[in-house]
Structure formats: C-alpha cells, structure tokens
Amino acid sequence: MTAPSPAWQPTASMAFPRTYHVFMVLPDGNVLVTGGGRTTRGGGFDHCRLPGRALVTGDPDLDTLASMNTYRQYHQTAILLPDARVLVTGSGRGLGYADPTDRLSGEVFTPPYLFKGPRPTITSAPSQLSYAQNFTVQTPDAASIATVSLIRLGTMTHTFTMDQRYVPLTFTAGSGSLTVSAPANANLAPPGYYMLFLVSSSGVPSVAQILKF
C-alpha cells in the first residue's frame, strides 16, 4: 500500500483448493487458513478436515500442518485467542449427505511459533489508547522485541471474520519498556477493542493485553 502504484500481489497457491474456509490473522503477520471443502456443495466430509496454510509471510512451518480432528466446513468459526492460539469450532449440516449432524465441538490450534522459544511478556500496558499518541508498554524483553501490533477482536459468521484487522505499530525500545506509537486515526483502527501483541526476534508472540480506543 505504500508503493507509488499499489497493487494486489498473489501469494503461492494453497496446498488444497477449498471453499467455506476461514482466514485468520496471526500475531506474527501470517494468515492461517482452516477447514473448508473441495466443492461448494454442503458436504464432502472426507475433504473437510483440511490442514491449514500460511499466507503473507509464507512461514514454511505452517505449510505442513496435520488435519483437524473433525470436518469444519460451512458455518465453522475460527477466532484468535489472547494467548495467540486459535479456537476453531462448529460446522453446519451437510444437506444431502448421510451424516446430517451439526458439529457442536471445538478444537484449539497451537501455531508453530509457540514452540520456537520463550514468550515475551507484557508487564503493563494502558487499557485505553488515544489516536496519534505514544504510549508505554512495560516488558523485561524490550531488547528482543521485533514487532508490535494490534489485532482487533474478531466477530465471526458465514466463514468470514468481519472485524478482523491487523495494525502494525512503530516503536522504540528502552530499558525495560517500549515507547509505541498509536495509529494516527480511526480510519486505521476503528474504535473498539484490540489485542496488543509483542513478537520476539525469534517470532514468538506474547500473551495479548486487551485495550480499546
């Protein structure tokens, strides 16, 4: 978007063609794709436990995920949790197929970044932010922080997370703290609740601090 002539750029193709899948922004900037089926029909359950796929930064660890425990297709949901894992639930009935049961279960996905080393910690951060203002985040891991971001709390229906938004923030590191610049205006971060994540130079995210504008 900062190029003189902004344009869409394709990423590599997913490992499987799919429909009714869910895209989920992760704290490290990757986009996780979960579930879905190979056709637009409400069924094909043998293909609905598809493994995930990372887009955007192309983390190779996210290209080799195991399949989910059960099918997640139309009306599945996926929500990023404050601990940087992803809760995947539900799936509607497969009309016209032998198994008409709604999936009332859920499963939690632990992304590979949580196995790459210790997590940075947020000791304290403000609960409310003002646009175009700096704010301080206390952390003993200030020297090792690579990125700071806000991810808006998700609302989910029909395989689409409508409020999903990833907002990278500029910052400077001090002794035991970060000075972070809040987004300039509500066009970049509409009013509401967000998760503040710190990500280490090893790519490991913190547990989020919930805050709002």
Region 26-33 average pLDDT: 88
Stronger pLDDT, 73 or 26, i.e. the higher one: 26
d(CA 33, CA 31): 7
- Please list the helix, strand and coil fractions of the chain in percent, rounded to the nearest 5, in that order: 5, 30, 60
Neighbours of 10 (CB within 10 A): 6
d(CA 98, CA 130): 54
- Domains by residue range for the chain, with CATH: 22-112 (no CATH), 116-212 (2.60.40.10)
The pTM of this model reads: 0.85
- Residue 37 pLDDT > 60, yes or no? yes
- Residue 143 pLDDT > 90, yes or no? yes
pLDDT-based confidence at 24, cuts 50/70/90?
confident
- Residue 191 pLDDT > 60, yes or no? yes
Torsion over CA: 42, 47, 51, 52 (sign): negative
Catalytic residues: 74
Query: Tens of pLDDT along 63-75?
Result: 556 677 777 777 8
**What is the per-residue pLDDT for 21?**
81
Q: Is 62 helix (H, G, I), strand (E, B) or coil?
A: helix
Region 180-197 average pLDDT: 96
